[in-house]
Amino acid sequence: MAFPKSSPYVIIGAGIHGLSTAYHLALELKARGRGSGEDILVVDKTGIAAGASGIACGVVRNNYYQPAMRELMAQSVEVWESDPEAYSYHPVGYMQISSESMHGDVATIYQQQQAIGYESAFIEGADDCMTYMRSMFSDWRAQNITSVLHEKKGGYANNTASIYGLASKAESEGVRIITGCTVTGFGRSGEAVSAVITDRGTIETDMVVVAVGPWVSKIWSMLDLPESVSIKGTDGTMHHGVDMWRYWCLEEGTLGVDPNLQKTNDGAMPPVIHVDTDAPLHSDVDGSVITEEMWGIYYKPDFNFAGIQGGAMPYEVTTPVNEVALDPYGPDSPDFIVGDEFAHMWCSALAHCQERFSGQMRHWKKEPSGGLGCFTPDSFPVFDTMCENVQIIADSNHGYKMIGVGKLVAAECVGETMELLEPFRFSRYAEGQLHPVSNSPFPWS
Ligand SMILES: Cc1cc2nc3c(=O)[nH]c(=O)nc-3n(C[C@H](O)[C@H](O)[C@H](O)COP(=O)(O)OP(=O)(O)OC[C@H]3O[C@@H](n4cnc5c(N)ncnc54)[C@H](O)[C@@H]3O)c2cc1C
């Protein structure tokens, strides 16, 4: 098929957001009698699921301290639940298990989940938490835990399978996906974008959706958008010259034991476990202290990864944004993959939580894993229309779980304004409409 010279809608990026937008936009156009999926072109420089979506742990949770994030996640969970088979979605639930410093934050989350009808249970107090956890895992032994939030919805999905599921849904609506096609610039008509310039040719267009995950800083520059922003703090003080983007490296890996090892006492597949605690963490190898600071891990049994898969807190990349080596990405990167230190910490943390993982570090899979995420100034997403006709989906690395964002962006592409996206506009920085910040050790909670 010839390379297209024009398309009413060009979506850049074949990850969770680009493909979800493509599929839902095709449905919107059809429902409104304004066209079909044939009016939509997705271009990707590498291939389907070649970015962060293809390496994500795949956890789907609602547990956010920020009300706007929780409401957005509830909408995304509905999309996951709409077709679990196509999206390879496992609705096993999710548990946030925390020490006292996070108790108040998590209590608020629970109350607000009740208010929006998101099913969860909240257990408080060290003894009750231990009893609750041992009713599920007889070997539970994590220390300093005083609250457990058990979300009955959510869980996880298999990363690549779900993205391919979305791609085939989009293609079945007539969307064309072109891979091996890199966007290198934009043609402009005044402020608006009139063409997407690629290494295979120029595509005239009416509307562009940018869904390039960690590469968003590059496309942002190509659109001549500001490299730094002014932010109005909660006390009204303006902070000028704050970098728009920064990178964090996500550290994840797999303990290559039988995933069935993590079944619950009654033989069921368990919820995703997330533990944040200030209990000292000791090595499972020699008992030495790994950290006495707050630490956190998450894990789940996963047949796709063939073991217990999960991660820990990311670390900030200090290299200037324009010099960060994004490519090759993910496991192919020589720089941003986990090493022995992470394996030691994460496996010891597993053993801290559950006795069944003690002495299992020899099963750590020594394969490259982890990858970069691109974060905004406040570490929350920016979903907005820039340059008059460019929809930016910059999820600040929150986003595999956000399968529903594409549905909302699709509605905005045809002229609607979606209330759920309003708290994520770019203007919030200058206006000081910032999201509340939690006590979690993770930059995305
Ligand atoms: C290790 C790791 C684990 C994670 N785990 C989770 C998790 O458990 N739960 C969760 O919710 N989130 C998780 N995330 C975050 C999540 O993966 C991302 O937020 C999300 O996948 C981003 O989706 P996207 O569609 O925006 O981008 P991507 O999936 O990165 O897709 C972007 C695509 O754009 C293409 N592209 C880039 N530049 C260009 C260009 N110039 N021209 C053409 N194409 C281009 C790329 O090839 C790529 O395919 C994790 C992230 C990492 C790195």
Nearest to 296 by CA among 273, 312, 308, 284: 312
Expressed in angstroms and rounded, the spacing between residue 374 Cα and the centre of ligand 1 is 9
Q: Is residue 366 part of a domain?
A: no
Q: What CATH code is carried by the domain that includes residue 388?
A: 3.50.50.60
Expressed in angstroms and rounded, the spacing between residue 244 Cα and the centre of ligand 1 is 18
Residue 445: per-residue pLDDT: 65
Question: Domain total for the chain?
Answer: 1
Expressed in angstroms and rounded, the spacing between residue 246 Cα and the centre of ligand 1 is 15
Identify the helix (H) or strand (E) that includes residue 248.
strand 246-250
- Which residue segment(s) compose the domain that 47 sits in? 1-92+155-238+378-445
**441 strand-pairing partners:** none
Report the residue count for the chain.
Answer: 445
Expressed in angstroms and rounded, the spacing between residue 51 Cα and the centre of ligand 1 is 4
Residue nearest to atom 22 of ligand 1 (CA): 213
Expressed in angstroms and rounded, the spacing between residue 144 Cα and the centre of ligand 1 is 34
Q: Is residue 416 part of a domain?
A: yes
Task: Kindly list the distances between the CA atom of residue 153 and the CA atoms of 89, 115, 290, in Å, as whole numbers in the listed order.
Answer: 11, 15, 33
Q: Is residue 271 part of a domain?
A: no
Ligand 1 pocket, mutate which of 10, 212, 251 (most atoms under 8 A from CB): 212
For the chain, 445 residues long, the average pLDDT of each consecutive 10-residue run is 96 98 98 98 98 96 88 95 97 97 94 92 98 98 98 96 98 98 98 98 98 98 97 92 96 96 97 97 98 96 94 94 95 90 97 98 93 95 98 96 98 98 97 84 67
Question: Measured from the CA of 250, which atom of ligand 1 is nearest?
Answer: 1
Expressed in angstroms and rounded, the spacing between residue 76 Cα and the centre of ligand 1 is 16
Q: Is 297 helix (H, G, I), strand (E, B) or coil?
A: strand
Residue 443: per-residue pLDDT: 67
Q: Is residue 64 part of a domain?
A: yes
CB burial of residue 335 (10 Å; 0-12, 13-18, 19+): exposed
Q: Is residue 367 part of a domain?
A: no
Expressed in angstroms and rounded, the spacing between residue 399 Cα and the centre of ligand 1 is 8
Q: Is the peptide bond before 328 cis (omega within 30 degrees of 0)?
A: yes
Q: Is residue 59 part of a domain?
A: yes
Ligand 1 pocket at CB < 6 A = 12-18, 43-46, 50-53, 55-59, 182-183, 211-215, 250, 252, 370-371, 373, 393, 395, 397-401
Residue 1: per-residue pLDDT: 84
Q: Is residue 274 part of a domain?
A: no
Nearest to 19 by CA among 408, 406, 393: 406
234, 237, 240, 244: CA torsion to nearest 10: 0
Ligand 1 pocket, mutate which of 215, 219, 367, 398 (most atoms under 8 A from CB): 215
Residue nearest to atom 2 of ligand 1 (CA): 56
Q: Is residue 25 part of a domain?
A: yes
